[in-house]
Amino acid sequence: MMDNTLEITDKSLFEQYARDQWLGMEINNESYLFDQKIIPDFAFKVISVNPENSIISENTKIDIIIDETAKDSSLKSTQSNVKLSDVVGQRNAKNKIKVIEKYLEEPESFGIWAPKNVLFYGNPGTGKTMLVKGLASEVDVPLYLIKATSLIGDHVGDAASKIHDLFEKASKNSPSIIFIDEIDAIALHRSFQSLRGDVSEIVNALLTEMDGITDNSDVITICATNNPNSLDSAVRSRFEEEIEFVLPNDEERREIFEKNISTLPLENDLDIERLVKISKNMSGRDIKEKILKTSLHHAISNEKDIIDMSDIDYAIKSSKIQINDVKGMFE
């Protein structure tokens, strides 16, 4: 029995390889056979032997059982309660994904004009992942939410295999969405490829899937990066749409503050207008995590019943946020 660490494409060839390597070895149920040729110290577990205490010979028949549960464990679809309306701002992005939404609802109506590959780009914390979750939830399709770094294995070839498995899984459960975050981790521009020896193989595997050389019908691939210029040019050319995510404006930051403050477990004495002013050029995630969460924790640790602007001041100083108007903060 084996897991997905090793992929066997020709079982008859492997059977001959196994007989040659372990010829003359006595085996029984639950024993292990250690590979000493291709992958030293890799072990195959013997599930059953008939008859017991047999010796492997030229006539021994070997059946291989692949543990599919191990193969799929990191490729499960994600469930989310996020709605598109939960994403504050990003009007342009929301408008552009209407095509994807329509396609996932009625894939048969698009034919050859179906959207396939889309790139989200922009500053961290601007809602790229949240929007994808909202989209998948809205149209009720499986979402495969993957960090690109999780596709990189320990050995050359691992990443290509994982990419293939990911798209195969999504295709079996289509219509579906694959979201690969930090795509530049596996699809670097060629000028950076010296950083990792198997980048070419990874890029080729990704291109194969994005081009639809294998049948990935009704699968939408959405990738995200903070810096699209760092991407391999061949990969970038496969995206028919590049959608920018921008930092929130004054009105949007006000909405972000109001939505999140309403869920705080303590009362508050906060000046929303000043918060909007000092949070210019901050992302929604920074507002929530670096300002509001830190302020809440500071108030709780000081046994306060109310969060006030002094807690905000602490949050800003402790996280070294570059705020827009420190001087006028407590006027």
Give the number of domains in the chain.
3
Question: Is the same domain home to 145 and 117?
Answer: yes
pLDDT at position 325, please? 46
Residues 147 and 296 in one domain: no
Any domain includes 162: yes
**209 with 103, same domain?**
yes
Q: Give the pLDDT of residue 37.
A: 65
Nearest-angstrom CA–CA distance, 23 and 132: 53
Asked if residue 77 is part of any domain, the answer here is: no
- Residue 102, domain member (yes or no): yes
Query: Does some domain include residue 124?
Result: yes
Q: Give 66's strand partners.
A: 2
Residue 324, in any domain of the structure: no
188 and 111 part of one domain: yes
Cβ pair 55, 22 in contact under 8 A: no
Tell whether 198 and 298 lie within a shared domain: no
Asked if residue 4 is part of any domain, the answer here is: no
Q: Which of 10, 20, 11, 12 is nearest to 58 (CA)?
A: 20
How far, in Å, CA of 185 to CA of 188, rounded? 6
Is residue 329 one of the residues assigned to a domain?
no
Residues 49 and 111 in one domain: no
* CATH for 108: 3.40.50.300
Percent of the chain as helix, strand, coil, to the nearest 5: 45, 15, 40
The reply to whether 158 and 277 lie within a common domain is no
**Same-domain status, 160 and 221:** yes
Residues 6+ apart with CB under 8 A from 41: 34, 35
Residue 117: name the closest of 196, 160, 159, 170 by CA. 170
Number of H helices, E strands in the chain: 13, 11
Residues 133, 64: one domain? no
Residue 198, pLDDT score: 55
Question: pLDDT tens, position by position, for the chain (331 residues)?
Answer: 444 455 665 677 777 777 787 888 877 777 777 776 666 556 677 877 777 777 888 778 877 765 554 454 556 777 788 899 899 999 999 999 999 999 988 888 888 888 899 999 999 999 999 999 999 999 999 999 988 888 776 555 677 788 888 898 999 888 999 999 999 888 877 666 555 555 677 788 888 888 876 666 789 999 999 999 989 888 899 999 999 999 999 999 999 999 999 999 989 889 999 999 989 999 999 999 999 999 999 999 999 999 999 999 999 888 766 555 444 433 3
Q: What are phi and psi of 267, to 5 degrees?
A: -65, 160
Q: Domain of 263: which CATH number?
A: 1.10.8.60
Boundary of a domain, candidates 245, 260, 288: 245
Judge contact between 198 and 156, C-beta under 8 A: yes
Per-residue confidence (pLDDT) for residue 117, from 0 to 100: 94
- Beta strand spans in the chain (E): 26-27, 32-34, 43-45, 54-55, 117-122, 143-147, 176-181, 219-225, 241-245, 267-269, 306-308
141 CB neighbour count, 10 Å cutoff: 22
* pLDDT at 326 (0 to 100): 44
Which neighbouring-strand residues pair with 60?
none
pLDDT digits (tens, 9 = 90+) for 196-246: 555 677 788 888 888 876 666 789 999 999 999 989 888 899 999 999 999
Where in the sequence is the domain holding 33, given as residue range(s)?
A: 11-68
Cα distances (Å, whole numbers) of residue 324 to 67, 275, 293, 328 = 55, 10, 20, 9
- Same-domain check for residues 239 and 267: no
37 and 22 in one domain?
yes
Residues, the chain: 331
* 282 and 226 fall within a common domain: no
Using DSSP's 3-state secondary structure scheme, residue 8 falls into coil
Please check whether residue 158 lies inside any domain of the structure.
Answer: yes
